[in-house]
Amino acid sequence: MLNKFDDFPIHQTAEPLAHPATSDRNVYDRTWFNGYAKDGSYYFGIGMAIYPHRRILDCAFSVVTAGGLQHCFYGSRRAPEERSEMVCGPMRIEVLEPMKRVRVVLEDNDSGISADVTFSTRTAAIEEAHQTLWSGARRVMDATRFDQFGFWSGWVQSPDRRIEVREDVCHGTKDRSWGVRGVGEPESGGAPVVPNGICFVWAPLFWDDHITHAIFFDGQSGEPLVREGIVAPLYASEAEVPGVLDGRDERMATAAHRITYHKNTRLAASAEIDLVRLGGETRTITLEPILKFQMKGLGYGHSEWRQGAWKGELATGSETFDPRQLDLLAPDNIHVQQVVRARDGEREGIGVLEQVVIGPYAPAGFKDFLDGAR
C-alpha cells in the first residue's frame, strides 16, 4: 500500500510507509494539543489519531470555561489510505509548516462547537525519552513523543460563548506521539492478568524566557518507570525558533513529584515538582490548580467514544457535562488536566498538570483499584 510520502527518501524499513514496523493491533499515531488562557478562564483540548491495524481514524475537540460546563465533539471514521489526510467529518488538521505552525478547523456541526485556531510554536521540538512499559514479557506501551510550546490565535465557539483566541493570552502545548499503547476495545482470551497500579504525571510549564517540562510514570510502589525533567528556551516569536532541534534543551539528572490530593478523590489539590540538575542543584516548583479539564472529553477512558474503537464508516457525537458535579472516582473521570499557576521563588509561570492514578499507589496511600485520598 503506497501513499504520496513514499516518493521521498524517508523509509525506515523495506516496507512502504503506510506499513507499521509492528503487527501489534494497538499501533497508533496521534496529534494532540491543549490551549488555555493564562488567567485560567478557559481551556480547550484537541486530538486526532490513526490506528493503522484497526483501520480507524478518530478525533475530538472539547472546551471548558471557568465555572461553566465542558462541551465535547467526537468523530470517528474508517482510516483513509492516505496517511496525511487528517480529516474526520467536520474536523480537520492542516500542517501549515512542519514543526512551526498548525491550523485546526471544526466546522459547524450538531455539537454546537466550532473553531478555527492556529498554533504557532515558540520552542524547538523537544523529544521526550522513549517510553516503554511492560506487562510481564509484553510491551504494553512503546512510544516516542515530542512536544512544542507555543501560542494560539483564532476563535472557538461553544454552546455557552464565543472565545476570541489571542496569542498574547492563549498558551498551548503540541504533543505528537506514535508507537504502541492500549487503545480501543480490551483484548479478550487467554489467562486473566491482574493489572499493576500506575501513576502518570505530565507537567509542561511556561516561564518568561524558558519552559520546563516533567514526565513521570511510577509503578504502584512509587518506583520510577519513566522520570524526566527538561528545561528549554522560549523564543519571542515563531521566526526566531531556529529549526526542528536547537540543541539547547537541558536534560535533568532526574525529577521528582509530590502531590496532595483532595479528600476522597485522586485529584491533585496542589503539587510540587523537583528538577535535579546534573550537578545536584534542585529547583522546586509549586503548582496551584485553577481550572479542571476532564480528559474523557478527548476520548481518554470514555465509555462510548474511547480512542481507537470502531464506530462505523463515519460517526460523530457530542456531550456536555458539569465537571464540578462528577464522581471523581469513576474510572472515566480520574484522568484530568488542570491549568496551574507555577511558582519558583520570585518567578511565576503558567501551565498544566496532567495526572491519572489507577490501582494501588503507595506514595498516595491508595490501596484499591479506585479508592480516594484519606
pLDDT tens digits for 242-301? Answer: 988 898 999 999 999 999 999 999 999 999 999 999 999 999 999 999 999 999 999 999
In a domain, 255, yes or no: yes
- Distance spanning both ends of the chain, measured CA to CA: 55
**Would you state the pLDDT for residue 244?**
82
Structural domain that includes position 211: 22-186+195-364
Quick: pLDDT tens for 52-93. 999 999 999 999 999 999 999 999 999 999 999 999 999 999
**Would you state the pLDDT for residue 187?**
78
In a domain, 370, yes or no: no
**Would you state the pLDDT for residue 342?**
98
Torsion angle (degrees, nearest 10) of CA 299, 173, 336, 178: 50
- Number of domains the chain is built from: 1
In a domain, 77, yes or no: yes
Output the nine-digit C-alpha cell for 24: 501489534
**Would you state the pLDDT for residue 189?**
85
* DSSP string of 40-75, one letter each residue: SSEEEEEEEEEETTTTEEEEEEEEEETTS-EEEEEE
Q: At 295, give phi and psi (nearest 5°).
A: -70, -15
**Would you state the pLDDT for residue 243?**
83
Given a contact cutoff of 8 angstroms between Cβ atoms, the answer to whether 101 and 238 are in contact is yes
In a domain, 2, yes or no: no
Using 70 as the pLDDT threshold, list the residues of the chain that sit under it: none
CATH of residue 203: 2.40.370.10
**Closest by alpha carbon to 202, among 151, 245, 147?**
147
**Letter for the amino acid at 51?**
Y
**Would you state the pLDDT for residue 256?**
98
In a domain, 205, yes or no: yes
**Letter for the amino acid at 34?**
N
Q: Buried b vs exposed e over 100-110: b needs ≥16 C-beta within 10 Å?
A: bebebbbeebe
In a domain, 293, yes or no: yes
In a domain, 369, yes or no: no
**Would you state the pLDDT for residue 352?**
98
In a domain, 6, yes or no: no
Distances, alpha carbon 157 to alpha carbons 71, 73, 89, in Å: 10, 12, 18
